[in-house]
Amino acid sequence: MPDEPAAPCNVFPALHYRDARAAVEWLTRAFGFTPGMVAEGDDGHVAHAELALGAGGIMLGTLREGSENPWNAERFGIYVHVADVEAHYARARAAGAEIVRELAEMPYGAREYSARDLDGNLWSFGTYLPER
């Protein structure tokens, strides 16, 4: 097969840790991830961090149990970058997906929504594309 440019990664595991700063350090040291962007919340917690490994990467943050945003209270989920999030949202809703966070503009400029699959796993779809 001829060499072809690698397609950009668009599916990202999203993890939450009780101590996200320690997780960034450990994942870097133990598994060889390269730390990228880290955004802090108002109280100094890690609201969002990105780590790269090869062509892929993960996103992580501090576990915030009791949060109204389902992403803050879940230990694990999947984030998928999609080009047309409005069409994707309409398709998911029409198929009966349990929408747990309505399609909305985020403070960081992305449009996103979150849904649960048949077994309750959390998925988010949107226009945000992590840096790698």
Q: How many domains does the chain have?
A: 1
> Over the stretch 43-66, which tens digit does the pLDDT of each residue have?
899 999 999 988 889 999 999 888
Separation between Cα atoms, residue 77 and residue 70, nearest integer Å: 10
Q: Is the pLDDT reported for residue 27 higher than 80?
A: yes
The confidence score (pLDDT) of residue 85 equals: 95
Structural element, H or E, at residue 92 = helix 85-94
The confidence score (pLDDT) of residue 1 equals: 39
Domain that holds residue 73: 11-126
Q: Is the pTM of this model over 0.85?
A: no
- CATH number, residue 74: 3.10.180.10
**Average pLDDT of the residues of the chain:** 88
The confidence score (pLDDT) of residue 7 equals: 61
Lowest mean pLDDT among 32-46, 68-82, 94-108: 68-82
Q: Is the pLDDT reported for residue 74 higher than 90?
A: no
92: confidence class by pLDDT, cuts 50, 70, 90: very high
In a domain, 132, yes or no: no
- Amino acid, single-letter form, for residue 3: D
In this structure, the chain runs to a length of: 132
Q: What is the CA radius of gyration of the chain?
A: 15
In a domain, 45, yes or no: yes
Q: What is the mean pLDDT of residues 5-22?
A: 85
> Which residue spans within the chain are E strands per DSSP?
11-17, 34-40, 46-53, 56-62, 76-81, 98-105, 111-116, 122-126
In a domain, 31, yes or no: yes
